[in-house]
Amino acid sequence: MKLHEDRSTAVVAASDAEHVIALRNVERVYRSGRVEYRALRGVDLDVRKGDMVAITGPSGSGKSTLLNIMTGIDRPSTGSATVGGRRLDEMSEDELAAWRGEHVGIVFQFFQLLPTLTALENTMLPMDFARRGSVADRAIAARAKLDLVGLGDRAEHFPGELSGGEQQRVAIARALACDPLLLVADEPTGNLDTETASAMLDVLDAVNRAGTTVVYVTHDPTLTTRAGRTVTIRDGVVVDDG
């Protein structure tokens, strides 16, 4: 019996190793006093290297919680979260912070750029925190990321001198600074007009074609068609995985 269990575990481990993301029976329960809210209810999800996945569903369905589990910002109450071969639910907070800085790029809806830093300096920040190379090397790498998102000529501009779409492009360049295994975006177009939002998805598509695994959350069904795969979540449960 023990041998059979060991073999089964090995098969699961081998299967998980084929994926950038492997979530197994993930539940997330939030508690406030005696009140309990189940944000995720036994989610299983695999994402392969090079995938571009849109996660969609109504407000309060668990989309952002799912994204936070993938990035180690939040932890499952039960179940396991394996990303890049590492069990995030078994790592300490310090280990998670170091791992996330090296392997995950995060794009937020409201950009979260530092207003006193230029586009170039904002893009350099993850490399500064990780102490990657010399300052000159970081600047060269940051300029390359800004070129990738079409903002090489705006490197010395401050966020207040950029449009909303340009600020979001800087946020993407910053997320890519350390060449992450995974790029995630939480409603990356939610603060943009329709035309700018479409252009933003063009950037994410280009990043994905260059080999980066991309997962983004959106409540807009028209934007889900831009991804190769759409995962729909409702009431904390995956109800469709197309």
Structural domains in the chain, CATH included, are 50-72+91-241 (3.40.50.300)
- The yes-or-no verdict on residue 84 having pLDDT over 60 is yes
Q: Structure pTM?
A: 0.85
**Choice between 157 and 197, residue whose per-residue pLDDT is larger:** 157
| pLDDT exceeds cutoff 80 at 130 | yes
What is the C-alpha separation between 115 and 31, in angstroms, rounded? 36
What is the reported pLDDT for 6?
46
Question: Can you tell me the mean pLDDT for 3-24?
Answer: 58
Q: Is the pLDDT confidence value at 1 over 50?
A: no
pLDDT computed for residue 17 by the predictor: 52
Whether residue 12 has pLDDT greater than 60: no
Q: Please, which pLDDT band fits residue 223 given cuts at 50, 70 and 90? A: confident
Nearest residue to 28 (alpha-carbon basis) of 229, 233, 242: 233
Give the mean pLDDT of 117-123. 97
**Share above pLDDT 70 across residues of the chain, in percent, rounded to a whole number:** 93
CB atoms within 10 A of CB 160: 9
66 Rama sector, left if φ>0, alpha if ψ -120 to 50, beta otherwise: alpha
